[in-house]
Structure 1
Amino acid sequence: MRWVMTGRGLRRWAFHSFAAFGVVALLLQSYQAIWDRPLWPGHAGQVAVAVALASFLYGLIRVRPAKAVVRDLKRPACRIEVVPGDLFEQDDSHLVVGFTDTFDTDVTDDRVVQAGSVQGQFLERVYGGDRVRLDADLDKLLAAEPVVTELTRATKPYGKRRRHLVGTVLVLGDPRRHFFAVAYSRMGPNLVAQSSADQLWHSLSRLWAAAHEHGQRRPLAMPVVGATLARVDALDREALLRLILLSFVAASRDHLVTTRLRVVLRPDEFADVNRAELKAFLDAI
């Protein structure tokens, strides 16, 4: 019921409830005027209570959040979806996978990368746990990317030591299904990833440009980047989701990035999203 107990939710509930009550009351009064008798003589009080309860229930049903939040843009023609599900089961889409600026991949003991994270699942479910092959693919692409600095083993005892620019996007896979590996956070020597709203916006801008260049306008699916281990502490999950959507719409005003952007949340995360507010936000941008 959290989706109702907001200013917008309560207003929409009241609007639909009173509209339904007014329509039913008008029909009952019209019947009485035509036939010169009430529909249920002697039960006016019970009828009023029943109509009121039914109207409030109807209003509640009307404001119940949809199973997905969808917005269709006309210029350019593309669809934005926020849905529950498994990111790696979006077989019709290219996928976005977040990395840090060191492009670490080691999930041993969850020390550098957590096996349960999107990045850890990417290693397991796309590369079959073959970290050597993933590192080889990343290193081949990183050879063309500038190195910001190289840490020493003393300052970063585990994982990779070469830092690249935050916002670096590597395109893995083949044209049938690309995996956009985007570095949107900075890996500290203490193995704690950190990002900010500015870094995330910059990284998203680079992501949209890469998707425009390599994605062939096919659907693009992504998680809510920055919500957990990247620690964008200034924004909660819903604010991060809005930032992603706003960034995409802004980029789409310049050129068509993809015909369909699908932001995929775990079902428990999706249940916590205020979908009515999110839909109103999407409709407003």
Structure 2
Amino acid sequence: MNSLAVPFLRIFWRCVGSWRWWRSLATNSTLAFGIVSGVVQLLLALWPNIEASRIVLFLSMVVSALAFGVVRAAPRREVSRSLGRPDVTVVVKVGDLFDESSHLIIGFNDTFDTDTSGDLVISRSSVQGQFLARIYSGDTGCLDAELSDALLGVEKKGREARSQKRAGKLTRYPVGSVAVLTRGARRYFCSAYGRMGNDLTVSSSVDDLWHSLANIWRAVEVFGRREPVAMPIIGSEMARIDHADREILIRMILLSFVSRSRERLISKRLTIVVHPNDANQLDMLEMDAFLKVL
């Protein structure tokens, strides 16, 4: 099966279980049936001698109306909304974060670990692992050097002993710290929104995420030149904010961004990119409805 069709089917089946999908189907089908009925009545009034089976005609009208309703209610891979004040567009889409041409927000932990060898400290399949592989071509030394330079002005929170933390970096920074990296014309906002435990598992909380988002927007405002920025659903995987599903996390991100944007414009476009493997956990109709009330 086409790889692009898989996430769409996942979204479709998730939407079919949503009352919004059924309401949209009913509303659009009823509207279409009314329009088709009006057209048929007009045709019969103009050409009364038309011979047609009433049953066939009725079934054709029903099928046409349902087909229109299904098309209109079909889930999308992308939903968006443009806000008048401020002049900002927010987008939620299924895709590959690294295909975006905008600045990127990348989630890190408070030690800014980068080692992906053996998937012990950082998983190669994570956004951070892909960031190392696809932006830095797997050059851990280069990424570490640039992170160190970007964090020079950030006060360190402490340092672990190697006997306590068996792998990875030892210096800790406050949760919410942001290291801004530049590669060509693009900026990468590396946010420490979780704490790396000495057992090499990352933990975070809603409060940590909210605080980190505020610091991210501050950094984007200063270094982003109001240009578009894209990010994944931070907090959804390795950070273990288990009591908040992806939809809740997306809503948090959007509320934080829009709230800050109403105070001062920080970026003209924010795109939240959902990995195709997570598409079945997201109801795009619900997301669309949420965007409309922002």
Fold match (TM-score > 0.5): yes
Among 185, 205, 223, the residue aligned to 1:176: 185
Comparing 128-137 and 111-120, the one that deviates more: 128-137
Partner of 2:175: 166
| 3-state SS of 2:65 partner | helix
Give the whole-Å Cα distance in 2 for the aligned partners of 1:104 and 1:51: 61
* In 2, Cα distance between equivalents of 1:56 and 1:227: 37
Which has the higher mean CA deviation after the structures are superposed, 143-152 or 208-217? 143-152
Aligned to 1:137: 146
Would you say the 8 A contact 2:115–2:121 is kept in 1? yes
Tell me by how many angstroms 1:272 deviates.
Answer: 4.5
Which whole-Å deviations, capped at 9, do the CAs of 1:79-129 have from their partners, x for residues lacking one? 1122232222223x1111110011111111111111121111111222222
Q: Is contact 1:172-1:180 (8 Å) kept? A: yes
Q: CA deviation at 1:142?
A: 2.2
SS at match of 1:3: helix
Matched, 1:210 2:210: no
Gaps (5+ residues) in structure 2? 1-12
Per-residue Cα deviation, 1:137-176 (whole angstroms, up to 9, x for no partner) = 2122323212222211222111112221111011111572
Q: Any unmatched runs of 5+ in structure 1? A: none
**Counterpart in 1 of 2:90?**
80
Name the count of aligned residue pairs: 282
Q: Report the residue type matching 1:112 in the other structure.
A: V
Hey, what's the Cα distance between the residues in 2 that align with 1:153 and 1:7? 53
**CA distance 1:125–1:36, shift in 2 (3 Å):** closer
1:262 matched to 2:271: yes
Structure 2 residue 106 is matched with structure 1 residue 97: yes
Q: Does residue 1:14 correspond to 2:26, yes or no?
A: yes
Supply the distance in 2 between the matched residues of 1:107 and 1:175 (Cα, whole angstroms): 24
Q: Which has the higher contact order (CA 8 A, sep 6+)?
A: 2
TM-score, length of structure 2 as denominator length: 0.90
CA contact (8 A) 1:197 1:234 kept: no
Conserved? CA contact 1:4–1:13, under 8 Å: no
Corresponding position of 2:9: none
- Counterpart of 1:242 in 2: which secondary structure? helix
> Which residue of 1 is the match for residue 203 of structure 2?
194
Q: Which moved more, 1:189-198 or 1:121-130?
A: 121-130
Task: Give the TM-score, by structure 1 length.
Answer: 0.93
Whole-angstrom distance in 2 between the partners of 1:113 and 1:174: 22
The Cα of 1:28 is off from its aligned counterpart by 2.1
* Secondary structure of 1:21's aligned partner: helix
User: Is 2:46 the counterpart of 1:47?
Assistant: no
1:33 is displaced (CA, Å) by 3.6
Aligned match of 1:67: 77
Looking at structure 1, the residues matched to 141 and 35 of structure 2 have their Cα atoms a distance apart, in angstroms, of 67
SS in 1 for 2:216: helix
Q: Percent identity of the aligned residues?
A: 41
Q: Secondary structure at the match of 1:231?
A: coil
